[in-house]
Amino acid sequence: MRSHHHHHPSLSLCTRAHQIGALALVVVTFLLTRSLDRFSSFSHSDYIPRTFSHSTSHLFHAGALNWPQRGYGDSIQLRIYVYDESEIDGLRELMRGRDGHITPQACLKGQWGTQVKIHRLLLKSKYRTMKKGEADFFFVPSYVKCVRMMGGLNDKEINQTYVKVLSQMPYFRRSGGRDHIFIFPSGAGAHLFRSWATYLNRSIILTPEGDRTDKRDTSAFNTWKDIIIPGNVEDGMTKFGGSRIVNPLPLNKRKYLANFFGRAQGKTGRLQLIELAKQYPDKLESPELKFSGPNKLGRADYFDHLRNAKFCLAPRGESSWTLRFYESFFVECVPVVLSDQVELPFQNVIDYTEISIKWPSTRIDTELLDYLQSIPDERIEEMIVRGREVSCLWVYAPETSPCSAMLGILWELQRKVRRFHQSAETFWLHNRSFVNRDLMEFHSWRTPVPLP
């Protein structure tokens, strides 16, 4: 018995030691397994980093645009129907004005040129379908910003004409507009169509303008359905090689630290830059430009000045977006965004911290110049190199190009495809037919279709 009592404590100790050891082994195994799982999830082929991680290898693969697989798919698979101007009464007026005298060629330039370019590229696209029944999307061409600027239609006529056009689109009524695409390429955005909030509040809007603080205090941009597109840069600057209007200068040949070339338009940020340039004329070039007269810069002169600084300042104007942001890449000047509400395109593939700077618009003073002065040329060169590699995404070229704005837009559209498009005005029966409130089958719907 005594011997038994001598061995029992040691047995208890051994058992307790084993228990502690086993518990420790379980904990270590759990932590190790969790770490491996986390590592595995981050290295899984479905995961694409949201940033360049100091490399553009995620954006380009074998010389072609490499869009994130997550949320987009392996390849573009779209069918887009493009309405013809002759098939709907009023559509021609939205493209050529009430008298039909405005030509598409006249609308190619300026900030509204994307209306024409995207339309033309879709007409030639391999993703275009001539069958409405198989379309994922319906593109509604309109050059209405250009038409308005050239006196082809006034605001009231634009509103009335849009409503007339939409009432002749049964497919628009069927989906509540969810699968219809519209372009509004200026700072005014969809507000050019005064009743957009009634009729286009579910449609996909392509716009460079994501401003939440417009003059009406109501933004037409919706983060989840709309797509930010690049501004329309002068064609003569988007060509690669030596055929551009002007070519970039070496960094050590540039005269100024920064510049801003644009009309003040009474905007606080722009006026501050003009005053700052007067205080530091050797660092900042920012003359007070005019709409017309001897001080109005020609396009070649404009880009010639723009390329002569390390940083191109891009404050907001009438609205938050600015074409200057995109133009700066083609003179290889690092853009400095001074517009707090700005939205930039293709953020799922572009890490803007690698190619630009965003600075608070409330701190446009000597602090800004001191900060820019402190950035080493080596870092500026790095940003220029990376900006050069992604600038193809600002070019409205055919989708057959390995990289273009059009290709980026198509990838973004792919994320918007929805298979269940029925609206509150669409019903279906046991035989799978779609009907309206009068139980009329969809293929028999007559135009004009009543709109909300």
Distance CA(154)–CA(214), nearest Å, equals 21
Same-domain status, 113 and 227: yes
Sign of CA dihedral 302, 246, 315, 149: positive
Secondary structure class of 312 (helix, strand, coil): strand
Return the amino acid letter for 355.
I
Q: Residue 2 falls within a domain, yes or no?
A: no
Are 222 and 322 members of one domain? no
Q: What pLDDT sits at residue 214? A: 53
C-alpha 209/C-alpha 187 separation (Å) is: 6
Q: Is residue 54 part of a domain?
A: no
H/E element, 82? strand 80-82
Same domain, 70 and 187: yes
Confidence (pLDDT) at 274? 92
Total tally of structural domains belonging to the chain = 2
**242, 170: one domain:** no
- Measured in residues, the chain has a length of 452
On whether the CB atoms of residues 225 and 202 are closer than 8 A, the answer is: yes
User: Does residue 55 fall inside a structural domain?
Assistant: no
Token pair in block for residue 327? 């133009």
Whether 262 and 388 share a structural domain: yes
- Alpha-carbon distance of 316 to 442, in angstroms, equals 46
Which alpha helices (H) appear in 139-212, and where do they start and end?
Answer: 144-149, 155-166, 170-175, 196-199
- Structure-token match 């309206």, residue found: 436
Whether residue 247 sits in one domain with residue 219: no
- What one-letter code names the amino acid at 87? E
- The single residue listed with the structure tokens 């009464």 is 89
DSSP run (H or E) holding 373? helix 366-374
- Domain contains 179: yes
Residues 248 and 379 in one domain: yes
Task: Judge whether 129 lies within some domain.
Answer: yes
Instruction: Establish if 37 belongs to a structural domain.
Output: no
Residues 223, 242, single domain; the answer is: no
| CATH assignment of the domain containing 330 | 3.40.50.2000
List the domain range (segments joined by +) for residue 368: 235-395
The residues facing 80 across adjacent strands are 128, 137
CA geometry: angle 125, 176, 122, nearest 5 deg: 10
pLDDT of residue 52: 37
Cβ(377)–Cβ(251) below 8 Å:
yes
Q: Determine the pLDDT at residue 12.
A: 45
- On whether the pTM is more than 0.85, the answer is no
Q: Are residues 226 and 247 in the same domain?
A: no
Residue 433 half-sphere exposure, CB side, CA atoms within 13 Å? 10
344, 387 Cβ separation under 8 angstroms: no
- Dist. CA 331–CA 384, nearest whole Å: 10
Q: Which residues contact 238 (CB under 8 A, 6 or more apart)?
A: 244, 330, 394, 395, 396
End-to-end CA distance of the chain: give it in Å, rounded.
97
β-strand pairing of 256-259 with 227-228: unpaired
Structure tokens at 208: 């460079």
Phi, psi of 291 (to 5 degrees): -65, -35
pLDDT at position 287, please?
A: 87
> 82: which strand partners?
139
Q: Where are the alpha helices (DSSP H) in 1-112?
A: 2-43, 91-96
Same domain, 104 and 159: yes
Same domain, 204 and 314: no
Read off the amino acid at residue 289. L
Sign of CA dihedral 97, 99, 104, 105: negative
Q: Decide if 153 contacts 147 (C-beta within 8 A).
A: yes
Would you state the pLDDT for residue 105? 93
Along the 452 residues of the chain, how does pLDDT read in single tens digits? 444 444 444 444 445 555 555 555 555 455 544 444 433 333 333 323 333 344 444 677 766 678 888 888 888 999 999 999 999 999 999 999 999 999 999 999 888 899 999 999 999 999 999 999 999 999 999 999 999 999 999 999 999 999 999 999 999 988 989 999 999 988 788 889 999 999 999 999 999 987 655 555 677 888 899 999 999 999 999 876 568 899 999 999 999 999 998 888 788 999 999 999 999 999 999 987 765 656 667 888 889 999 999 999 999 887 888 899 999 999 999 999 999 989 999 998 999 999 999 999 999 999 999 999 999 999 999 999 999 999 999 999 998 888 999 999 999 999 999 876 578 888 999 998 889 888 999 888 888 877 76
My answer on whether 228 and 240 are in the same domain is: no
Domain presence at residue 324 = yes
Domain presence at residue 413: no
